[in-house]
A and B are shown apart, each in its own frame.
Chain A
């Protein structure tokens, strides 16, 4: 079965510092990968998705970027964090040939102070 490994679970960073959150996938090859941000009252907001190595689509303008250097690796980054970047970030994946089901990582709670 497909599994998403996401780390760290919690992260506290000062404003202006860089960010790198990593997500890796097991159990499937060539998956679609997603970064969502979950905020109370706003649900799950899609930030980025990728259908293959080096292919990134951005859904909302923001201070963050994403990269996919390997088939099963998806990275969320920022050069300088803002207070508004605080939130709960979820990595998710789906099989390339089907949106039947998303499988989610355990999430990272990011606090920017």
Chain B
């Protein structure tokens, strides 16, 4: 069964610091990978996604993520965070075989950026 692990549950950074949030998944086949973000009081929204091709994907608001197949990882990065990046971030995986109509989420990482 597919599962997603986010190792950092709570991250506190100062503005302009660099960010890297870890995400590992357990599934041996082909996957689609996603990062979703939930800003305080708002709906979950898509930050970026990987389907195929270049393993380094760019998302909105300066975020990027790198798919490393050998490590089953899809870490989220941003070179310089802003106070407005304070939010909860969820990694998600969709397996492309078997029951393909499921998106499994990680436990989330709460990011607090201090001005």
**Please, which residues of chain B bring their CB within 8 A of the CB of A57?**
99
Given known A41-B9, A99-B32, A100-B49, contact A46–B103 (CB-CB < 8 A): yes
Tell whether B24 is near chain A: CB-to-CB under 8 Å. no
Total contacting residues, chain A, CB less than 8 A: 23
- Kindly state the separation between the CA atoms of A73 and B68 in the bound complex, as whole angstroms: 38
Q: A102–B102 contact, CB under 8 A?
A: no
**Please, which residues of chain B bring their CB within 8 A of the CB of A45?**
105
Tell whether B104 is near chain A: CB-to-CB under 8 Å. yes
Instruction: List B18-75 residues whose CB lies under 8 Å from chain A.
Output: 32, 36, 43-46, 49, 51
Given known A90-B44, A99-B32, A104-B43, contact A46–B101 (CB-CB < 8 A): no
Tell whether A51 is near chain B: CB-to-CB under 8 Å. yes
Total contacting residues, chain B, CB less than 8 A: 23
Interface core residue of B6, B49, B107 (most chain A CB under 10 Å):
B107
Q: B101–A44 contact, CB under 8 A?
A: no
**Please, which residues of chain B bring their CB within 8 A of the CB of A42?**
107
Instruction: List A91-113 residues whose CB lies under 8 Å from chain B.
Output: 92, 94, 99-102, 104-106
**Please, which residues of chain B bring their CB within 8 A of the CB of A102?**
36, 44, 46, 103
Which B residue's beta carbon lies closest to that of A43? B107
**A interface, CB within 8 angstroms of B:** 32, 34, 36, 41-46, 49, 51, 57, 59, 90, 92, 94, 99-102, 104-106
